Amino acid sequence: LEGEPGEPLSAPLIVVSNRLPFVLTRNANGKLQRSHSAGGLVTALGPVVIDCGGLWIGWPGSHDVRPFDEIPEPDIPNSGLKSQQVKPVLVRQELFDSFYNGCCNGTFWPLFHSMPDRAVFSSETWKAYQEVNEEFALKTIDALRQVRARLLKEYNNPSDDSMPVPVVWIHDYQLMLAAAMIRQVAIEENLACKLGFFLHIPFPSWDIMRLFPWDDQILEGILACDLVGFHIEDYCTNFIECCQRRMGCRVDHANGNIEYDNRTVHVRALPIGIPFNQFQLLAIKAPRVMKDERVVLGVDRLDYTKGLVQRIKAFERLLECHPEHLGHVVLMQIAVPSRTDVKEYKALKEEIDQLVGRINGRFSTADWSPIRYIYGCISQDKLAAFYRDSAVALVTPLRDGMNLVAKEFVACQINENGVLILSPFAGAGGTMREALLVNPYEIDMVAETIHKALVMDVDERRHRMQLLRKRESSMDVDYWMDSFLREMDQVECAITGPPSLIPV
């Protein structure tokens, strides 16, 4: 973690997320290697962490990594985090399963998506969640000590006002307790820092949140941060209301402030974007992969929140009500396998397999089938070509924090002639107003909206798409990250210890 000697360091950033920005796997010789991860978070935050000599803490995506293993350097020098910038969190597989499959995806995922009937409440998996959050917190404290030692070396004088304050940025519902533990130790050890949290999924209303038996501990965990970010205002309002009603906090809804533990917690709506230019470039370069047919495209992780069953039924209804599309239009549904160890996800896969089979059996002819269903991952190039060449993107989740597919489709629409159909129950539904918005539960209405999109005239399609592209290209993932870090800059550092107590 050497900065350029003599150069003032910008505030070092410590990112804490459930997954590291790459997966570690073993090659045939038993050596660890990095596999690329293409997420927007990695694209945006990776370079910032690299430049400020920061650190990234997370699970390496495999239980095959041991504490004594050396993390490999990136394949191309200077193309990723240096090995010393990565702190992998390693926990027993059984404990991790109980945390990830049990509490994160069996409890918080359905609960926070306002599907409480699917949520399982278990003191056993909750304990695993607490333990794993503690592991993440301990690694973060190590990182803070390391950064602190480096700053003291650089600045000589520990009371130098210009010494930057490290920023810890925790991500998502897997890590809602970590901040409380980090704050406590940081205070004890006088490790100056600012703590931030961003939730990538919805925050539920008080009525739903209160069903979780240990809701106060979750709220306490998030309130340990100085800045808390959500995608949209509705989620901020829900969180603030929960803090008011459950924790008795004084709140200022208008300014998004919560008084807690003699501090102000700043709550902000900061909608995430995508690496727009990167997707656009892929779309410019990607060769054509589809036949000459009109494609209605769906791209989702196979997840019950995405409304896949309702969507496929709506497409069936379209074919019933508008037979002129028979033989000409295809629903291409890409379902990316996800959380395959969780019972609910296995059951959903079965249901979709059967539904697609039934509809294809009903309508297929010798040279045309209505649904092309891909269960698997596809390359970024192909995805960009699908986005570019589809007539319609059908993004109809029942509930979704933001939904990046809607934004990726728009970024790849370089010819500006596709139509986006979007659910108002996705965070993106609040800002992407030029899309055709439709309630995914209203199957007849979804069918009619697909028809409307398919027959929309070219001028209207272009006009809507131009406006969508303009917004997404300016409010991209870098804009989101800058907004969060700028807000962080405004926040006062609540953890500052007297210099004499700082261990050198």
User: Under rule CB under 6 A, which residues in 15-34 are in contact with ligand F6P?
Assistant: 18-19
CB of 338 to ligand F6P, least distance (A): 6
Question: Does residue number 194 form part of the binding site for ligand F6P (CB under 6 A)?
Answer: no
CA distance 468 to 413: 10
CB of 159 to ligand F6P, least distance (A): 39
Question: Does residue number 306 form part of the binding site for ligand F6P (CB under 6 A)?
Answer: no
CB of 351 to ligand F6P, least distance (A): 20
Q: Are strands 227-230 and 194-198 parallel, antiparallel or unpaired?
A: parallel
Question: Does residue number 200 form part of the binding site for ligand F6P (CB under 6 A)?
Answer: yes
Q: Which residue is nearest to ligand F6P (CB)?
A: 200
Near ligand F6P by CB under 6 A: residue from 338, 360, 369, 380: 338
Determine contact, residues 333/302, Cβ cutoff 8 Å: no
Question: Does residue number 154 form part of the binding site for ligand F6P (CB under 6 A)?
Answer: no
Could you tell me what percentage of the chain is helix, strand and coil, using 3-state DSSP and rounding each to the nearest 5? 45, 15, 35
Quick one: 306 or 464, whose CB is closer to ligand F6P? 306
Question: Does residue number 201 form part of the binding site for ligand F6P (CB under 6 A)?
Answer: yes
Question: Does residue number 469 form part of the binding site for ligand F6P (CB under 6 A)?
Answer: no
CB of 13 to ligand F6P, least distance (A): 18
Element (H, E) at 75: none
Question: Does residue number 400 form part of the binding site for ligand F6P (CB under 6 A)?
Answer: no
Question: Does residue number 111 form part of the binding site for ligand F6P (CB under 6 A)?
Answer: no
How many residues touch ligand F6P (CB under 6 A)? 8
CA distance 289 to 389: 9
DSSP class of residue 391?
A: S
Quick one: 172 or 472, whose CB is closer to ligand F6P? 172
CA distance 437 to 381: 28
Q: Which residues contact 415 (CB under 8 A, 6 or more apart)?
A: 388
Strand partners, 250: 259
Element (H, E) at 186: helix 178-188
Element (H, E) at 32: strand 32-35
Near ligand F6P by CB under 6 A: residue from 135, 154, 172, 389: 172
CB of 401 to ligand F6P, least distance (A): 6
Question: Does residue number 339 form part of the binding site for ligand F6P (CB under 6 A)?
Answer: yes
- Give a three-class secondary structure readout of 214-274: CHHHHHHHHHCCCEEEECCHHHHHHHHHHHHHHHCCEEECCCCEEEECCEEEEEEECCCCC
Which parts of this chain interact with ligand F6P (CB under 6 A)? 18-19, 172, 200-201, 338-339, 401
